[in-house]
Amino acid sequence: MVAQHGDVLVVGAGVMGLTTAVCLAEAGVPVRVQAGESPQDTTSAVAGAMIAGPVTDDPQDDESRWLRATLREFTDLAADPRTGVRIARGRTVSRDEDTTPGWARQMADFAECDEAERAGYPMGFWMSSPVVDMPRYLQYLAGRLEIAGGVVQLGAVESLEAAAATAPLVVNCTGVGAQRLTGDPQLKPVRGQHVVVENPGLTEFFYERTKAAEITSFIPHLKRLVLGGTIGPGDWSLEPDPAQTEAILRRCIAIEPRIAGAPVLSVEVGLRPARPQARLEEETLGDARVIHNYGHGGAGIGMSWGCAREIEQMVTQAVRR
């Protein structure tokens, strides 16, 4: 497909950008994606990607609504092994909470953990949830976009003004890059580091809910096991920290001894785009309209389909005017 001046331009090729572009293309909207890095080089590609559930129990809360919608989409995608999505059972624990959140009881296969299963945490429960092998999933999304007639173009977008000069409707899905493009003072990077090891045969995930600097988690993706993790607000460094690597391994082995001795395949770092609240809103820029879709923190994958479907409605309404 050759890009035309009337196309919708999606800026950013991570999970938010690709999912949004897929929704638009499959709705019949001419769409192109432009990004300074390929999908496999984005923060999305290094995520552990377990869909944890709604942020709050309030069904009217935007982020919880987007998470619920995304959970439904991923549950359907898990039926197709080509997507890299599957349903896994595992434990969710927290050092910050001593009671189970209400939303958890709505998750499939919910059960309270007993004391041993909580592994020293004051709160823990079992549930089944989609887990997403992100390198495979991003490849799936890119292929789905191509089938629908969309195109991905590599090349940095220098400004939203420059993007708006080439398309009457721009969707800004640039993650932490939105700080440069918008000057948004509320958007901050939150550095995360994962260690990927050869899976010693684990099928269940372990996921810690916390705002502390260190997280203990392991998410199995067939032959890979993604171990987490760290939370580094304001840290722009993409260099792996060997001390953090050792600490991640030590914490995960303490929970699951079978991880000890598993060959390390890679150490991966990404910058979560954190904001007090995700920004999904429209503004006018010259003669163009811009829809911002960024600031989802560590829950971008979990909100991706909910946000994309909402943008699909906004864009198709605009295109049909």
Q: Are strands 31-35 and 151-154 parallel, antiparallel or unpaired?
A: parallel
If we measure between CA atoms, which residue out of 241, 247, 318, 311 comes closest to residue 279?
311
Residues of the chain with pLDDT under 50: 1-5
The pLDDT value recorded for residue 73 is 96
Residue 52, pLDDT score: 79
Identify the pLDDT of residue 316: 82
**CA quadruple 128, 195, 200, 125: dihedral, nearest 10:** -30
DSSP conformational letter for 50: B
What distance in Å separates the CA atoms of residue 292 and residue 243, rounded to the nearest whole number? 37
First to last CA, the chain: 24
pLDDT at position 2 is 34
Token duo for residue 175: 């993650």
Contact 192, 231 (CB under 8 A): yes
Amino acid at 139: Q
CB-based contact 34:157 (threshold 8 Å): yes
Alpha-carbon span 298 to 14, nearest angstrom: 13
State the DSSP string of 118-142.
TTT-SEEEEEEEEEE-HHHHHHHHH
Which pTM value belongs to this model? 0.94
SS3 108: strand
What's the pLDDT score for residue 3? 38
Q: Which of 279, 306, 268 is nearest to 181 (CA)?
A: 279
Q: What is the pLDDT of residue 320?
A: 53
